[in-house]
Structure 1
Amino acid sequence: MNSIHWPEGFVPGFTENFASNEAIVAGLSAQDIWPLLSVPSRWPSYYANSANVRFYDDKGPELADGVRFYFETFGFPVEAQCNEYVPPANGRPGRVAWHGWAGEGETRLDVHHAWLVEDLEGGRVRILTQETQKGKPAEELHRTKPNPMINGHQDWLDGLVIAASNEQSS
Structure 2
Amino acid sequence: MKMNAIHWPEGYVPGLTENFASNEVIVAGLNAADIWPLLAEPARWPSYYANSANVRLHDGKGPVLADGDRFYFETFGFPVEAQCNEYVAPAGGHPGRVAWHGWAGEVGADDRLDVHHAWLVEDLEGGRVRILTQETQKGKPAAELHAAKPNPMINGHQDWLVGLVDAARMNKAR
C-alpha distance in 2 between matches for 1:3 and 1:145: 27
Q: TM-score, normalised by structure 1?
A: 0.99
Q: Can you list the C-alpha shifts for 1:109-166, whole angstroms capped at 9, x where unaligned? A: 0000000000000000000000000000000000001110000000000000000000
Look up the equivalent residue of 1:147 and give its one-letter code: N
Match for 2:167 among 159, 163, 166? Answer: 163
C-alpha distance in 1 between matches for 2:50 and 2:96: 24
Deviation for aligned residue 1:55: 1.0
Q: Secondary structure at the match of 1:44?
A: helix
- Percentage of pairs with the same residue: 82
Unaligned 5+ runs, structure 1: none
How many residue pairs were aligned? Answer: 170
C-alpha distance in 2 between matches for 1:7 and 1:62: 22
Match for 1:88 among 82, 90, 98? Answer: 90
C-alpha distance in 1 between matches for 2:80 and 2:90: 26
2:4 aligns with: 2
C-alpha distance in 1 between matches for 2:81 and 2:30: 31
2:113 aligns with: 109
1:144 aligns with: 148
Look up the equivalent residue of 1:13 and give its one-letter code: G
1:121 aligns with: 125
Q: Can you list the C-alpha shifts for 1:14-54, whole angstroms capped at 9, x where unaligned? A: 00000000000000000000000000000000000000000
Unaligned 5+ runs, structure 2: none
